[in-house]
Amino acid sequence: MLDMKLIRTNPELVKENIRKKFQDQKLPLVDEVVQMDGQCREAKTRCDYLRSQRNSISKSIGMMMAKGQKEEAEKAKKSVSDMAQELGDLEQKIEELSGEIRERMLVIPNIIDPSVPIGKDDSENVELERFGEPAVPEYEIPYHVDIMERLNGIDLDSARKTSGNGFYYFRGDVARLHSAILSYARDFMIDKGFTYYIPPFMIRGNVVSGVMSFAEMENMMYKIEGEDLYLIGTSEHSMIGKFIDTMLSEEELPQTLTSYSPCFRKEVGAHGIEERGVYRIHQFEKQEMVVVCKPEESMQWFQKLWQYTVEFFRSMNIPVRTIECCSGDLADLKVKSIDVEAWSPRQKKYFEVGSCSNLGDAQARRLGIRVRNPEGNYFPHTLNNTVVAPPRMLIAFLENNLQANGSIAIPEPLRMYMGGKAEIQAE
């Protein structure tokens, strides 16, 4: 959510940002907000005047009564009563206008960073850099489910019976590998100085609307029937929500947190749910990074965060590249975003395994997160980034560590979490 002062003083900048995101249908919202804000401020000014007059007249009534000026006192009482009625009407108008303004402000996109490439959708995202050599071995790389089945590590048929498409059973060494990667990710981030959390896996509606746009919520979140609770789509939601209505001291910044959680997503959209595969699913687990920091430090943290993900994947022999999201592909709250994509030897292309986002002060404004400062309190910036999100990540891991004999090589950092195993043998 933008600063009201920005919309009030520079509506054209806000409109130009909307055009850069190819959301011209939202342009009228800016003028509507400016107009309503003017009406709201006029009403507040009138309220202040009426309260001042009411207080002054109320004080004089007792003096009039003491002097025997009963008729004048009755007129004054009538005047106070009329003012109270007008005040009540104005306060109701202010409340209604404030609600209308907030409703529109939640839809107006955040101001993107000047460095963001302009483009309509993800087809115009920009490759930045590659890390590691994307190799294709001479031997065949099977489909990831086939690899898992040869390892006797997945059961999709049973999952379809219990839960439907988009779910899975992992077993044996594949299940252990899944957990090992998450444990390694946890320790990797702790070694970077991040504090480890396991957050609530459900959050209230006011937290949901504070951390994401309504459109994202509708496409992602599962609501608990009959309760004001939603299953989280990522632990970022509850980790940023942790600070709702909080006044932080500058000494507490930056907050550097890493959190584990299961994630639940509807996955509504063009891609849909695979019937046979674990690329796009309803349930997965993830290790996340979250940072709350001073505004002037957010871009430095942004660079650090995505580099941590690159380092993590390269430590497991997985080539990756970074992709800058263009303006039209940025969610409304985001200032800047970089995706990390892993190499798929089978498909001979990269696919997304993580996303790093700087949201500026948008989430802090929505959630009422402030920082105390002698020169004036301010809203901190929030950032989030995926460390790793299996089982999608397992696709890249298995393909890049598959050996000619069908076994899976276990990179050195993972072996301590796999009971010292150097490889997983096909059954």
Average pLDDT, the chain: 92
- Across residues 316-345, what is the average pLDDT? 96
CATH 3.30.930.10 residue window(s) in the chain: 122-424
- Secondary structure (DSSP) of 124-177: G-EEEEEES-----SS----HHHHHHHTT-EEHHHHHHHT-TT--EE-HHHHHH
Q: Does domain 4-105 correspond to CATH entry 3.40.50.2300? A: no
Geometric angle at alpha carbon 384, from 320 and 335, rounded to 5°: 95
- Across residues 329-354, what is the average pLDDT? 96
φ, ψ (nearest 5 deg) of residue 340: -105, 125
Q: Supply the pLDDT for residue 274.
A: 61
Instruction: Establish whether the linkage from the previous residue to 391 is cis, with ω within 30° of 0.
Output: yes
Q: Supply the pLDDT for residue 248.
A: 97
Percent of the chain with pLDDT over 70: 98
Percent of the chain with pLDDT over 90: 81
Q: Supply the pLDDT for residue 268.
A: 57
- Residue-wise pLDDT tens digits, 134-151: 999 999 999 999 999 999
- Across residues 108-126, what is the average pLDDT? 96
- Residue-wise pLDDT tens digits, 292-308: 999 999 999 999 999 99
CATH 1.10.287.40 residue window(s) in the chain: 4-105
With a cut of 70, say whether residue 360 has pLDDT above it.
Answer: yes
CB-based contact 169:159 (threshold 8 Å): yes
Task: Read off the tokens for 186.
Answer: 């946890």
State the Cα–Cα distance between residues 360 and 378, nearest whole angstrom. 12
Q: Supply the pLDDT for residue 83.
A: 87
CATH topology of domain 122-424: BirA Bifunctional Protein; domain 2 (3.30.930)
- Residue-wise pLDDT tens digits, 36-91: 999 999 999 999 998 888 888 877 877 777 777 778 877 888 888 888 898 999 99
Other CB atoms within 10 A of residue 375 CB: 5
Q: Supply the pLDDT for residue 55.
A: 81
Choose between 412 and 165: higher pLDDT.
412
- Across residues 262-281, what is the average pLDDT? 74
State the Cα–Cα distance between residues 343 and 253, nearest whole angstrom. 36
Q: What is the largest CA-CA distance in the chain?
A: 109
Q: Supply the pLDDT for residue 270.
A: 45
Backbone CA torsion sign across 35, 209, 352, 239: positive
pLDDT band at 6 (very low <50, low <70, confident <90, very high): very high
Q: What global pTM score does this model have?
A: 0.89
pLDDT band at 205 (very low <50, low <70, confident <90, very high): very high
Lowest mean per-residue pLDDT among 73-87, 261-275, 311-325: 261-275
* Closest to 396 (Cα-Cα) out of 323, 324, 317: 317
Q: Supply the pLDDT for residue 70.
A: 77
